[in-house]
Amino acid sequence: MNISIFGLGYVGVVTAGCLASRGHSIIGVDVNETKVRMMNDGLSPIIEKEIPELLEEYTKKGNIRATVDTRDAILNSELSIICVGTPSRPNGCLDTSFLENVCFQIGQSLKERAERHVLVFRSTMIPGTMRDVIIPAIEDASGKKHNEGFFAAFNPEFLRESTAVYDFNNPPKTVVGADSQETAQKVMSLYEGLPGAKIITKIEVAEMVKYVDNNFHALKITFANEIGMLCKNAGMDSHEVMDIFMQDRKLNISTAYLKPGFAFGGSCLPKDLRAISCFARMHDVDTPLLSSIMNSNWMQITNAVRKIISYGKRKIGVAGFSFKEGTDDLRESPLVELIEMLIGKGYDLKLYDRNVYLARLMGANKEYINEKIPHISTLMVDSLDDLLSDREVIIIGNKDPEFSRILTDAREDQQIFDLVRIGDVSDAAGNYEGVSW
């Protein structure tokens, strides 16, 4: 199938690479000329395991090309997948302006297309956005009616950064929301042969499913972290407590996100928590538990800062400050918040993260680093040995396998503060402490 993909961020690039590997012809579309150029050169604009190899292989084979021209993409594809970002506004509600701009451009191009065209939205949006905002915007711009001149579907993604290719090929479920079986089945055909349940539902239900998933993940992380703090202060190993708790596979269901650790972050959970709270307010529904999660998550950051201050040392090294290992994504990383708080208190910091350093040099994330957090950028060093050489406190911020050797290579006079439980802590050198164990 000839497919155009709008938005060459994490979801768009992963979707492009994975669908190309399944035999489809892909046209990637983005307003960022750097991303487009990198894609056409077979280079990945994101750091994600397996993606560089997929893009290199299928660009050479001619299965993938990229453009800034919406008209070109629409006229040369039969199905479009929209993966444009929906960031938070200052009030917590979603900013759909980028999405609406893309819809206008797509609508204008649909005027020239006589054949059936299916628009598949993967951008996360609160229930009702497709029906009340997106579809009317396309109708206005194209002069065509939904389910007559074009057909829209919502297909939420369940990709985790650093394991996105595996997740694409091994989904727990595939959900498609559409008004007709014919449209839904065409979208579902993209995932033919993949494991997991195949679910066709209403558009609004499909929109809501993503929020239910992400808010539950955020809830699990916060629950585990609060248990961890209780256990630590009561003299217990929270991981032992939770290991016993998770033996119950019948009621507790899943072990994902249930190990106590540091605050959650990234491009999904904080944004989706704010959006679902805004959605509840719009409907005059009180959600005290969900509304309290971000406050509890913020306390994990402030508690960690208090602990670091308590060591009475000024030279701090942070190993890993993207929000999780295997990615260069710094959006709403709790480590960035922690770093900025320490900078504000006058601490001497060095930062190391090989994925972020790589992005600083050549990736599409370079613009974010240079423009949004340049003060942090200047503190980055290019090796773990540099970080270990003169720091009094070493903070382990994510589970990059490289950081395991901190446990054995740190000097006895260095304080290790582990936010992720990097490995076998019983063999740790130096003064070791976990954030909640």
Task: Enumerate the active-site residues.
Answer: 268
Taking the C-alpha atoms of residue 254 and residue 216, their distance in angstroms, rounded to an integer, is 11
**Backbone φ, ψ for residue 44 (5° rounding):** -90, 130
Give 224's Cβ-side CA count (13 Å radius).
29
Taking the C-alpha atoms of residue 85 and residue 6, their distance in angstroms, rounded to an integer, is 10
Task: Kindly list the distances between the CA atom of residue 81 and the CA atoms of 16, 18, 100, 190, in Å, as whole numbers in the listed order.
Answer: 9, 13, 14, 11
Taking the C-alpha atoms of residue 341 and residue 347, their distance in angstroms, rounded to an integer, is 9
Taking the C-alpha atoms of residue 259 and residue 228, their distance in angstroms, rounded to an integer, is 9
Characterize the bridge pairing of strands 151-154 and 173-178. antiparallel
Helices then strands, counting H and E runs in the chain, come out as: 19, 13
Instruction: Check the CA dihedral 358-7-118-279 and report its sign.
Output: positive
Taking the C-alpha atoms of residue 396 and residue 253, their distance in angstroms, rounded to an integer, is 29
Task: Kindly list the distances between the CA atom of residue 416 and the CA atoms of 259, 315, 354, 388, in Å, as whole numbers in the listed order.
Answer: 20, 12, 19, 11
CB atoms within 10 A of CB 35: 25
Contacts of 42 (CB under 8 A, 6+ apart): 55, 56, 59, 60
**Backbone φ, ψ for residue 197 (5° rounding):** -65, 145
Taking the C-alpha atoms of residue 152 and residue 99, their distance in angstroms, rounded to an integer, is 14
Taking the C-alpha atoms of residue 273 and residue 295, their distance in angstroms, rounded to an integer, is 11
